[in-house]
Amino acid sequence: MKTKLEILFETKPNSNLSIFITAGFPKKENLLEIIPLLEKSECDIIEIGIPFSDPLADGTIIQQSSTIALNNGMTLDILLQQVKQVRKHTLKPIVLMGYLNTLLKYGLEKFYLTCYQSGVDGLIIPDLPLSEFKNEHKTYLKKYNIDFIFLITPNTVTERALNLAKESSGFLYLVSSNSTTGNNNSPISNLTKEINTLKNSGLTIPILVGFGIKNADDFENVCEYANGAIIGSAFVQLVQNSLDLKKDIPEFINSIKTKKNDNSIK
């Protein structure tokens, strides 16, 4: 059976926008309000952060959102219950992003089963080693028809990037720079050369670019050479500062997609 991510990229290969929000932030129940608002917007993928005390790949904004969520009492159990509750209100792919310790503490098979029962479509676990993925996680992912997305950087050697791409499903996450999320001091590089190298070496999976994407210009530029982009810190900051999520979330998404983004992938 095809996954929601596979269907998305088949029907809409270009200009896909993934929006990240930390579960339990800024209030414990906010996910129940935010996901239906994202469903009504022009975002294509909903990425939910599993709060963690030491999110190594994330910058200050998302780190702080994790701390607030944990202080609010957000747990993986509550997160998955909320996803199950709100799944009926959205047809968009839901991807969880978190760290390996959280899964291990929860119990691997229990985690994958509960993800399946809750309606989770994909996972991003940045600190999961490839060997451990193959030995312990891959079987559960296939059993429960859940996609797994690996991350690569512009400095990942081609052979390793292709190995990670081969094991990825749904899409491959290309980090825009050697930085953490939300780093405004790190410019968004044009990664056409890197992507073309991978494609010429046999890459076929869609690529989304993340880290530092914050506005319509960033999104449009990335869509010139990738299948879309992931926006995290800018959206988390918007949610934190918002006095009216029903107004501000649609306006934010619309502001990202104000320019024409139907570019063909080079």
Burial of 244 (0-12, 13-18, 19+ CB in 10 A): exposed
Angstrom CA distances, 201 to 84, 170, 223, stand at: 40, 19, 21
172 phi and psi angles, rounded to 5 deg: -110, 135
- How far is 107 from 110, CA to CA, in rounded Å? 5
Single-letter amino acid, residue 145: N
Annotated catalytic residue 33: no
Pick the catalytic residue from 44, 58, 167, 218.
Answer: 58
- How far is 255 from 114, CA to CA, in rounded Å? 35
Q: Determine if residue 250 is left, alpha or beta; phi over 0 gives left, psi from -120 to 50 gives alpha, anything else beta.
A: alpha
Cβ pair 87, 121 in contact under 8 A = no
Q: Which helix (H) or strand (E) holds 173?
A: strand 172-175
- How far is 116 from 99, CA to CA, in rounded Å? 18
Annotated catalytic residue 58: yes
Pick the catalytic residue from 10, 42, 44, 47.
Answer: 47
Q: Which of 58, 13, 260 is nearest to 175 (CA)?
A: 58
Angstrom CA distances, 140 to 99, 110, 116, stand at: 17, 10, 10
Angstrom CA distances, 214 to 7, 79, 225, stand at: 26, 26, 17
Active-site residue list: 47, 58
